[in-house]
């Protein structure tokens, strides 16, 4: 399973990229707004100077004609841009056209197997089931990830399943076990994945034992 960072924070992206574990980035309008950046194109182009892998950038238009035009424009921002399209009739129409033009897409705000299936049928490169937001309303978000993986495998659909709205390290483990191709995670979750109390205790003990022998 590949790990993408779900953020528009440049410092977080730089730090995570240095670790070598990040294969791509996903953003959305809320994440860009959180950074107080009003120019999404500038943010995406800055990210593309740091990360070689796919960078998801979301369209804001809602009507098909405007969405298709905006998506084509966004796809030109950088060679590694993946155009993030919200699930809707307009979104499906847009992905259907973009896929024929060879433009990579990420179907976002996916909350059901039917939505994921439609996204794959129209040629989305990724579908992004929102695990945490389903959990928030007492639906099992990870069960949906598993179902999508199973159906895509069954019909050999080439669309990648990107587990999104990841809230904690256990979500990442569950996404891997469910067979998600990608988990896109916040920086804080990546940091939590690194830590283990026994590792910290072990490092302290090794250091102390080594220092004790240096003094004798």
Applying CB under 6 A, the residues found at the interface with ligand G3P are: 6, 26, 28, 31, 130, 132-133, 164-165, 167, 184
Token reading at 140? 């099992």
- φ, ψ of residue 100 to 5 degrees: the values are -70, -25
Alpha carbons 87 and 85: distance in angstroms, whole number: 7
**Shortest Cβ 215–ligand G3P spacing (Å):** 50
Residue nearer to ligand G3P on the CB measure, 64 or 132: 132
Q: Name the active-site residue from 34, 65, 84, 156.
A: 84
For residue 140, is it left (φ>0), alpha (ψ between -120 and 50) or beta?
beta
Report the nearest approach of ligand G3P to the CB of residue 26 (Å): 5
At 101, list the tokens.
Answer: 């033009």
Task: Specify the residue, 16 or 97, whose C-beta has the smaller distance to ligand G3P.
Answer: 16
Catalytic residue status for 84: yes
Helix (H) or strand (E) holding 2: strand 2-6
Give the C-alpha separation, 111 to 143, whole Å.
11
Least distance from ligand G3P to the Cβ atom of residue 163, Å: 9
Rounded least distance, CB 146 to ligand G3P, Å:
18
**In whole angstroms, how far apart are CA 150 and each of 1, 97, 109, 124, 147?**
15, 26, 20, 17, 5
Give whichever of 97 and 119 is closer to ligand G3P, judged by the CB atom: 119
Is the CB of 97 or the CB of 189 nearer to ligand G3P?
189
Which sequence positions are flagged as catalytic? 84
């Amino acid at each position: 399973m590949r790990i993408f960072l779900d953020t528009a924070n440049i410092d977080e992206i730089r730090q995570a990229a240095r670790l070598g574990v990040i294969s791509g980035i996903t953003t959305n309008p809320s994440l860009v707004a959180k950074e107080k950046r009003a120019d999404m194109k500038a943010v995406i182009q800055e990210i593309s100077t740091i990360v070689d892998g796919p960078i998801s950038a979301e369209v804001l238009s809602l009507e098909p004609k405007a969405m298709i035009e905006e998506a084509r424009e966004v796809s030109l921002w950088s060679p590694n841009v993946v155009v993030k399209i919200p699930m809707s009739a307009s979104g499906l129409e847009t992905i259907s056209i973009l896929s024929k033009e060879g433009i990579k897409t990420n179907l976002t705000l996916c909350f059901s197997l039917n939505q994921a299936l439609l996204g794959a049928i129209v040629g989305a490169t990724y579908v992004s089931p929102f695990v945490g937001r389903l959990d928030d309303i007492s639906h099992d978000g990870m069960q949906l990830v598993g179902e999508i993986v199973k159906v895509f495998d069954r019909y050999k659909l080439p669309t990648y399943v990107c587990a999104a709205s990841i809230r904690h390290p256990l979500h990442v483990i569950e996404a891997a076990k469910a067979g998600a191709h990608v988990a896109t995670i916040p920086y804080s979750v990546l940091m939590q994945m690194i830590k283990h109390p026994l590792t910290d205790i072990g490092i302290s003990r090794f250091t102390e034992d080594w220092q004790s022998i240096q003094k004798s």
